């Protein structure tokens, strides 16, 4: 079992829809959680950290479920510019473990 | 704005060649990292450095070495390139990394290396 797993997608979603995807992690002692965004042929960039109580940044909401060991990312009112690969990152034992990413395609 | 610069965007080398990938950051970050990214796999850490002349092995150090002679520069060296080292190589830096550090990683725009 991979330490951090994501559905690779692609998720094909119409513009304006709400989309959510999860990321599961295997180490229950994981300390911190992040979502990065990677556009095609570009480098990853931090989208948001994920806090225990859940957090929101505009149209993006991140949640952490420690009991079931997953984090989620919800995107509301999706835009064409949201098309990207979303990488889940988990900090375990002071190391960052990266998921392979979920590809999101927003269609007009 | 943090800038991490990788010396080459695309590189084609022959099997057995020695390859140098250079990375420079301009934000006085202590930590620097080299990753490779392959389809279907997450970013995999090759080496990282938390200070000048310091280096730590990541998950897949075999076939690679690194050098950090100056704080702003972190070099990745493929001593004898092989075809299975064909990949996208990403350099990153961060202000802090550790028990309390949640500083984001700032990435360079990558070097796509092809070994033939």
Contact criterion met (CB < 8 Å) for A49 and B102: yes
The per-residue pLDDT for A95 is 83
Set of chain B residues whose Cβ sits within 8 Å of the Cβ of A95: 45
The per-residue pLDDT for A106 is 97
Residue A84, pLDDT > 80, answer yes
The per-residue pLDDT for A2 is 76
Each residue of B59-73: pLDDT tens digit? Answer: 999 999 999 999 999
Question: A6, A14, A32: which is closest to B100 by C-alpha?
Answer: A32
Distance CA B47, CA B12 (A): 22
Distance CA A70, CA A25 (A): 6
In chain B, the percentage of residues whose pLDDT exceeds 90 is: 77
Q: Which of B42, B96, B99 to mutate to test the interface with A (most CBs of A within 10 A)?
A: B42
Mean pLDDT of chain A: 94
Is residue B1 within 8 angstroms of chain A, CB to CB?
no
Mean pLDDT of chain B: 92
Residue B101, pLDDT > 50, answer no
Each residue of A13-63: pLDDT tens digit? Answer: 999 999 999 999 999 998 889 999 999 989 999 999 998 899 999 999 999
How near does any CA of chain A get to the CA of B75, in Å?
A: 18
Under the banding of pLDDT at 50, 70 and 90, the label for residue B100 is very low
Q: Residues near A11 by Cβ (< 8 Å), separated by ≥ 6?
A: A19, A21, A102, A103, A104, A105
- Residues A6-10 have a mean pLDDT of 93
Each residue of B16-69: pLDDT tens digit? Answer: 999 999 999 999 999 999 999 999 888 999 999 988 999 999 999 999 999 999
Task: Say if residue B45 is exposed, middle or buried (CB neighbours under 10 Å; 0-12, 13-18, 19+).
Answer: buried
Write the residue in A43, A49, A101 that is nearest to B107 by C-beta: A43
Residue B110, pLDDT > 80, answer yes
Residue B99, pLDDT > 70, answer no
The per-residue pLDDT for B103 is 78
Residue B96, pLDDT > 90, answer no
Cis amide leading into B75 (omega within 30): no
Distance CA A105, CA B105 (A): 25
Q: Which of A43, A52, A62 to mutate to test the interface with B (most CBs of B within 10 A)?
A: A43
Distance CA A102, CA A59 (A): 18
How near does any CA of chain A get to the CA of B24, in Å?
A: 15
Residue B98, pLDDT > 80, answer no
């Amino acid at each position: 079992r991979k330490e951090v797993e994501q559905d690779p997608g692609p998720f094909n979603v119409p513009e304006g829809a709400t989309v959510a995807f999860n990321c599961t992690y295997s180490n229950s002692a994981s300390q911190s959680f992040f979502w990065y965004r990677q556009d095609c042929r570009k480098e990853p960039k931090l989208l948001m950290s994920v806090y225990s109580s859940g957090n929101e940044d505009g149209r993006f909401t991140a949640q952490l479920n420690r009991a079931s060991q997953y984090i989620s990312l919800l995107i509301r009112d999706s835009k064409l510019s949201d098309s990207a690969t979303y990488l889940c990152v988990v900090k375990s034992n002071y190391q960052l473990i990266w998921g392979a990413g979920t590809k999101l395609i927003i269609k007009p | 704005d943090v800038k991490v610069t990788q010396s080459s965007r695309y590189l084609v080398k022959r099997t057995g060649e020695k390859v140098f990938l250079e990375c420079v950051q301009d934000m006085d970050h202590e930590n620097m990292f080299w990753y490779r990214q392959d389809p279907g796999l997450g970013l995999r850490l090759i080496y990282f450095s938390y200070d000048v002349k310091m280096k730590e092995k990541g998950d897949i150090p075999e076939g690679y070495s690194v050098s950090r002679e100056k704080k702003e520069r972190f070099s990745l060296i493929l001593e004898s390139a092989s075809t299975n080292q064909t990949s996208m190589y990403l350099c990153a830096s961060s202000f802090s990394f550790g028990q309390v550090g949640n500083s984001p990683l700032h990435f360079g725009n990558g070097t796509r290396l092809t070994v033939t």
